[in-house]
Amino acid sequence: MATIEDLEKLDIRTGTIIACEPFPEARKPAYKLTIDFGPEVGIKRSSAQITALYTREQLVGRQVLGVVNLPSRLVAGFASQVLVLGVYAPEGVILVTADRSVPNGLKLG
């Protein structure tokens, strides 16, 4: 069982998607996201399997929550630096976000 200390190790922050590119090299349908996590964390990139419910145009400008302190993961030759959070629904992954616009880089607490 995970402990509260385990959860506290994760650095989960708000960020705004500033670019979204196709990712045809990925094994499963995905996008390459560029996300601004504010001045402390900066700009990070992520591979995200969210193509079922979101178009590239819908994603640019959208705020998301992401885990910013995990090691990079190589996905089809692309360094994914952040884990963007979402929930698995039957129709696809639904992004987790704040219920109102907030500054980039705020920590989940």
The pLDDT tens digits for 9-52 are: 999 999 999 999 999 999 999 999 999 999 999 999 999 999 99
Whichever domain contains 65, its CATH number is: 2.40.50.140
In a domain, 101, yes or no: no
Per-residue pLDDT tens digits for 61-84: 999 999 999 999 999 999 999 999
In a domain, 108, yes or no: no
Reported for 23-29, long-range contacts at CB under 8 A and 24+ positions apart, including other chains, are 23/47, 23/76, 23/78, 25/76, 25/77, 25/78, 26/75, 26/76, 26/78, 27/76
- Supply the pLDDT for residue 96: 97
Expressed as residue numbers, the domain containing 66 is 4-95
pTM of the model: 0.95
Please give the average per-residue pLDDT across 82-88, as a whole number.
98
In a domain, 83, yes or no: yes
What is the domain count for the chain? 1
- Supply the pLDDT for residue 109: 84
Please give the average per-residue pLDDT across 77-105, as a whole number.
97
Please give the average per-residue pLDDT across 78-92, as a whole number.
97
